[in-house]
Chains A and B, each alone.
Chain A
Amino acid sequence: MKKQLSLVIVILLASCGAGAVARSAWYNAKPGYPPMPWVKPVAKEPPQVNKTDPATNDPKSDNVGGNDSLTGQPAVVRSDETPKDICACNKRVEGFCVAEIDCVLRHLADRDATIVDAREQHDYDEARLAGAIHVPSSAVYDNMDNLMAVVPVQDSLIIVYCGGGSCEASKNVGIVLRDFGFTNVLLYENGWEEIEASGRFGDFIEMGG
């Protein structure tokens, strides 16, 4: 029994060694490749931005949009918009701005964002937002090429949606997108649950495989 327990320890140590060698080999094989996920500290909640520009005290000034997702830069909004920007970053998760339904609908109508579906294959096959690129959370690295092919500019706006609930899927995909250098990612946390329940998406929903 002692011999077998020693063997267990040897196997565990060998596994650690093999893991360390493999890790360094993988990094050398792909220099510049993004690091393992989670290595970067999660961005802390930024201080709340006053909706009124302190310089002009004008609520309709260009600085009313709150912070842009991730970049922390003030978002530029059109001057004809109401002071309450529907895409203002009022809530952050893992450093990402969380998009509300109105914001998602606006971007869908304007066609100015890439939509990413982080749900699993069978959910995606059943129904999805029109034109959504499928990058499931369980195979995100396998599907990154599909996304990179369509989103050439890294500061393009990307909206990631999930099935709803705790929405781990969209967070995971968002983190990987950030690792790949995409700087403007919004999470639609309420996801498919809200898309279905709200009944507001109409033609934006694509059915079938």
Chain B
Amino acid sequence: MDATSNNRTLFQTISHICALAVGGYFLYAAWGKIGPDEARQFAIEIGNYKILPVAYTNIPAVIMPFIEVFGALALIYPPTRKAGSIIIGGLLLFFICAVAYSALYLGLKISCGCTGADSGAAGWSTIGRNVVLFGCMVVSNALYRPASARALGAGFEVDPVLPAEPAAD
């Protein structure tokens, strides 16, 4: 096994570990928000952020945990990693903006609601954690190459361009 091949294996391993870490965190976070009481509590946490009118906080409180679950599973499963990254990345960016606006800009002393009940106060630590998760997600996506690309020895392209077959007469 040459050095390039070793590097590729290492990159793949790092990619899987990062995806597992981010996906695992999101599965854990969603677990604390799925359930009748948990959804009600999460609706309150969303309302605290003062981003949505309170009458509209119930729908995201019920749906968002499932987006986290499916997004995390898509991120962990290699062939759907890119789709998972788009969802989880979007969620992380949204969370960072929400905490920055509510906790830092408005100065609200609110619970983060990240992992359901008792998940600590929203603030710089929450933003820091989300930035780290976002970084892990970017790394996992950047280092991952699908099996088809690996077999052809191509770069990090998802769909390698195959030579066109000659047209039949």
Interface residues of A (CB under 8 A from B): 1, 4-5, 7-8, 11-12, 14-16, 18-20, 22-23, 26-27, 29-30, 33-34, 36-39, 42, 120-121, 136-142, 163, 165-166, 168, 172, 175-176
Contact = CB atoms under 8 A, between A and B. Distances in A.
A165 B158 CA distance: 53
Contacts of B87: 8, 11-12
A53 B82 CA distance: 71
Contacts, number: 120
Contact of A121 (B41, B59, B66, B118): B118
Contacts of A7: 74, 80, 83
B30 to A, nearest CB: 10
A26 B111 contact: no
B55 interface: yes
B70 A16 contact: no
A138 B111 contact: yes
B41 A22 contact: no
Interface string B97-110: 00000000000111
Most B C-beta atoms less than 10 A away, residue of A120, A136, A138, A166: A138
A185 B77 CA distance: 50
A141 B108 contact: no
Interface of B: 34-41, 43-45, 47-48, 54-55, 57-59, 61-67, 69-71, 74, 80, 82-84, 86-87, 108-111, 113, 117-119, 121, 158
B72 to A, nearest CB: 10
A168 B66 contact: no
A140 B66 contact: no
B41 A139 contact: yes
27 contacts: A4-B83, A7-B80, A14-B66, A15-B66, A15-B67, A15-B69, A18-B69, A18-B70, A19-B59, A19-B66, A22-B66, A27-B36, A30-B36, A36-B39, A36-B61, A38-B55, A39-B58, A120-B111, A138-B45, A138-B119, A139-B41, A140-B41, A140-B44, A141-B37, A142-B41, A166-B109, A176-B40
A38 B60 CA distance: 13
